[in-house]
Structure 1
């Protein structure tokens, strides 16, 4: 067993795959929002200056305009949600996992919000298995997630526990160091 500390830190390269997916989704939603707004503007220009100026004789145009407004609102809400997920993903960069073989502890430090920090310490005695999870883009940028299973002994029995460490750069190299 190693007698050292191994620090596993989330890196920009580690989150790159997920970040690219979220940015592409955000751009597609913004493009959809722009197209929907153009359709809305042309419908209102053609049938009336505002949604409320459409009369009952143009019932079909009224329904289509209302549906376009609902679609536009859905695009705006989706853009806000994706933007917040991108911000949350960038907060993952502050996550550090320290595996201290000398003290037999796994320490996970996370910054959840600008003024909130969470530190989680778990006792371990033996690492049983280290798995790697890589998606398509992760393989291209040599990043991924580690899934570590370990045993924690106490006076009565032992418990098998696990920890998921996402957005790690060079996961195969880190696996060789751990296992």
Structure 2
């Protein structure tokens, strides 16, 4: 039921890592810093963590309110994930829209939303509830937020280590992984939906 599962934690972590794509967002973060915008690594990670956890639980309540089962939403979410994977592979931008400049700090907008806790991440969390136990998803979210903090805290070091080509390769690689995951989600949940009708 609520047991820890290492395979689920790793799988959920990789899905969220690919969706959040904090390494792929490094150029955006560096661009914000070049405009003298302030990014607080600790606040960014904590705000994102609590927003994602809130949606993980409240999102399910919203589904119940509209009488939508998790499998149906998982298929819809998998289609969104598929679109995101195409975005990453082809280098087009759908969900990551830069908002107009705020005053001083860019921690909440656009770092927390929509770059980290955006539409793609919300949809993915709900979709994963059809596949993984809640506790494993929570741990995967926490691990990703630790990674988000590390990247934002050591942004200049990350830039030097990865380089432009490194960011490019990681983005394309995880785009392909996401595409495979989205197809698996669609096929597994479609089977459950067809079985429920029959």
Same fold (TM over 0.5): no
Q: Would you tell me which structure has more helix in proportion to its own residues?
A: 2
Which structure has the larger Rg over C-alpha atoms?
Answer: 1
Task: For CA contacts below 8 A with separation 6 or more, give which structure has more relative contact order.
Answer: 2
Q: TM-score, normalised by structure 1?
A: 0.29
Q: TM-score, normalised by structure 2?
A: 0.27
Q: Would you tell me which structure has more strand in proportion to its own residues?
A: 1
